[in-house]
Amino acid sequence: MTPLLSPSELEQRLRRIGAERYHNLHPFHKLLHGGRLTRGQVQAWALNRYYYQSCIPLKDAALMSRVEDPAIRREWRRRLVDHDGEAEGEGGIARWLALTDGLGLDRAYVVSTRGILPGTRFAVEAYVRFVRERSLLEAIASSLTELFSPAIISERVSGMLAGYDFVSENTLAYFNARLTQAPRDSDFALAYVKREARTPERQQAALDALTFKCDVLWSQLDALHYAYVSPGHVPPGAFVPAEAGRS
C-alpha cells in the first residue's frame, strides 16, 4: 500500500509523471518542433488534433455536470469560454481552424473529422468517457497535463516559426492564448487535487488519472507517427497529404 503523501509530495509525484510521460518527449513532437516535417505531415497533425480540440468543451461540460459547488463550476466555466469564445469566430476551436486554414486544409473537411486516424478518435473518446464516468477528483486530475504545456508551447511556436515557411505567427495564435489560460487552469486544478486527495487511495487515483491523460496525448502522436512518418502506413479512409500523390 502507498503511504499517505503530503500535498507537496503529491505535487512532486504529479510533476514527475509529466517529466516522464508528457508528449513533449514523443519523437513526433521533436520532428514537429524541429522543423523536420513536410507540410503534409504538419497538416495531418493539425487535422487530427482538431478532433481533440473540438471535444475539450464536451469533456469540460461533462465534468461541470457533476460539480455541485457553483464556485467550482464558475471557475471551470472559463474553460468553456476559452474554447468556444463569446461569439462566432472566437475562442480556441476557431483559432485552431485558423491554423488548419493557414495550412491549406479545407475547413469543412477538418470539421467533419472524416479524415482523422482511428487512433486519434479512440484516444479522444476514451478521454471524454473517462471524465464523464470517473470520480470528479480523477476527472480534474486528468486535466493536469496543463501543468506541462507552457514549456512545450513556447518550444513549439518558436520551433515551428523557424522551421516552416508555411507557418506564421497568425496561424499559431491558438498557442499564444494557451500560454496564459493553461497556467491559470492548472493552478486551480492542482490546488483542488492537493486539497481533495487526502487518502492514499485517492492520491493514487489522481496519479493514475494524470498517467492516463498522458497516455491519451501520447497515443495520438503514436498514431500520427506510424501513419505519416515511420513506416508511414496511412489507414484506409484517413487523410492523405497531397505531396504523397494521393489527395
- Interface residues with its own copies (CB under 8 A) are 54, 57-68, 70-71, 73-74, 77, 80-81, 83-88, 91, 93-94, 132
CB nearer its own copies, residue 37 or residue 46: 46
**Buried-exposed string 142-170: b where 16+ CB fall within 10 A, e elsewhere:** bbbbbbbbbebbebbbebbeebbeebeee
Q: Report the distance separating Cα 231 and Cα 247, nearest Å.
A: 19
- Minimum separation from the CB atom of position 93 to its own copies (A): 6
How many other β-carbons are positioned within 10 Å of the β-carbon of residue 112? 10
- Minimum separation from the CB atom of position 115 to its own copies (A): 17
* DSSP secondary structure letter of residue 3: P
CB nearer its own copies, residue 32 or residue 173: 173
Grid cell locating 246: 494521393
- Minimum separation from the CB atom of position 86 to its own copies (A): 7
CB nearer its own copies, residue 86 or residue 165: 86
CB nearer its own copies, residue 80 or residue 240: 80
Distances (CA, A) of 195 to 10, 21, 205: 10, 24, 14
- Minimum separation from the CB atom of position 64 to its own copies (A): 4
Distances (CA, A) of 4 to 10, 137, 151, 190, 203: 9, 16, 30, 17, 8
- Minimum separation from the CB atom of position 196 to its own copies (A): 19
CB nearer its own copies, residue 15 or residue 78: 78
